[in-house]
Structure 1
């Protein structure tokens, strides 16, 4: 802050060479003359190098911004690179500041270049589970991809069988069954993704022992003998009895169940859909009397769309969908619909 005596302050201002000057505590006219004289004195300098001179009235708030250049050293594996970094290139790491010195290191190099130590939290949860291992295996593979199953032959479980462990997400989530009667152990490394996966596994364990599908998989026919006439194999409507349908549904493969799901979805949209299944390939012939581009057809005209769905593996994860139809917009909508159904029904990729 400078008082408004120009003759006494001019030499002081020249020696200090401030970047900002605020004139206060003086008579307004005299301070105005001082401000004009100072501005005239620095008028020969470029505009960007001139100091800022202000004369705020009383009780007015003045804010000053001071820019400070900050630098940090990149150390460890982040600095071990073949090419020189370019200006503006982003660096992903942890910024550590100590004694006004900053450095950027990767999480793995924290113990080497800093006094910080990296730790992890392992969680273990015991979940009541009275189902069978085969049921849990089916449900886990239906929900997740990359599930690895291992059996511990050295250590026997409560029933004398080997202890079975299912692991996925790079072995960060594990499910162990057979070690304790009626208990499944869920272990995982605490992280945002690991916690979500662990919650889903717990829900899957509860569902695997109470859903209708698990009851169908684990149920066994009773030993009582009963006579069944050949005519009772079909009911009055010509449909198969529920027991025979159950056996057929149980024998269906995963890909066939995906294809039947697609068939049912198409039947909800179109009245006439004929389906043919062969291994991992399903073909569907759709007949309709109206299109999106062609509009309503004549009474005798029928628009036919041929759909072919092929799964690349028995798990029904990746599929190739082709649609042939004279109505291009309708073909695109059908393909998008089937793709969404196949994606929603496929196991989660982690």
Structure 2
């Protein structure tokens, strides 16, 4: 039986802290970069991504890890291999108290290993920071702690279920569906809904209905150019720069969109012989290694690339001179017109060419060096094809400044007295164009996906403040007129959200209880049966947030638990009070009690164990109790509230019960009565002199006549309705002759009349509000005047199974 969950709880309701979901952005809140989010629910903690900020270096590039105890994290999920989502993972694994499990897809893990190694080497050679966050040794030693997972594979860890789905952003990118105690959370990471040349678009099965959607808002409310138009514009920009004798620089991430752009260029160059004279360079030390990974995981790509792989029969390309080596072969990524370039030292910068160089933000590395070399020439051009993060050179160059600052410091040996070395300014005369091929959703794609998912709570992350704010406003406007409109949040870094999710707690009835379910009485209205739940008595067991109700006898089989019954015994010395007085006193408190048996008096031969033999020796030295009639000779045993056995023996009373909260309370009450019984006036009178009668006279409380109970119930009704109550005389003379009491009443309130039948308890009234009021008064009156034992019997009859 699956757990059902309400959409959410009202703010005014009192919410159990365990039903409160906590969400906090350690990075990626109202910014793009250093993505890291924390989700906490039901004592479980999931961490989403662990990136760095491309605009900063060192400690300042990290998420705000100091604001959260990472030792409490159960699972860390990496959505894809880009540094702004995975760049600080080695730091988390080696420099913090993180003790959880790390999961990513197989392609992501394969590329992440080489990408991080390259990132460490580049930062060590170009960074101005005196200390580094982690070394390559740290990265490689922590790599074994990462576990790989397949798309659509559901994995359980620490009572958390995770399932990755294709996200379409880069090879291996995943959206993660997380389920904790029945609450479903979908984290999209960076995702794309656009079908391109090699990747499948983001997909989610129809049957998956998350309660919470955590989605990117990179482009806010912007709309992308249609794909055919964008590719035509892209190729037009490149050819126009080449036609004027210039060089084309495209800063890209080493892996991701670069492969898509290379496929476009390879196809165009194959069809246009005019441009085959211009080489296409892929400048990255990871080019050849990671192309091998792309070839390995062709099966994880779309039908287009798989079809191309099956049909391509091109010959292996020859070497393309000293500048690089041609890539060729049967794989779509063995390209004829694309050359890999490991280092600029081997690059002969002569004539026009197309250069794809990392990194995409041009903060350092090959792309930065080529920009400084080519930007003074107006024939050259820079085409930015990805998203540009605030604070990076890629973002600032879009404003077309007249100068850019050189990355390396000039020779300042003659200026040693200055605190800071001056930087060289380089004139910028090259053209700057932006044409985004970033695999992120635009507003139309994002809003339609949000509509398809149908989550009641939407959390926006991975977006600049203005873009995220515009997206939130657009979504609020879209859902304004809906009754079930979702709640939308756009938290900032370190801003904690508390979202209530109070769901129904449903338990599966298993074992013996499931074989014999309770059946409603035929006298009960069917409408009432549908609204009033059946009552089961058993042990409630929780395992991985799943509740099961079972008999104590089934605990070993279904829950793996062993049971122990604790039997409690208590002996109270009583020198004068006999069994009759004990019974009378107990009936005064509990109502009717049950006489279980009459044990044989002393003088009869019985088999006894050692303890009973010791008891017999003790009895021998006890003073003789007062004589009673033959009817009370011997030991009397009573059962109180069907849980405590009271044995009245010679000179003492012994109590025995099965230990639990309910039974212990009743036993305490019986002990209080027994400890005061001999000092009560009744006891003094009983033991002052011998007498011939016994105490079989029943307690008035235990044997209340029907007429007396009716009078007490009438007191309650009169307090509520005053003189508006009239008895209805019995119509049958036979009933009057038999002495039966009048059990029917008429209650008149304004123009409404109600007929009350006491036994059985029924109220007939056309006005439902008055009927419910009278029933409430009657039920409260009966609960008040009835003895405890009668109430317990009624409850057992109504709810036992």
Give TM-score, length-normalised by structure 2: 0.25
Larger Rg: 2
Higher relative contact order (CA 8 A, sep 6+): 2
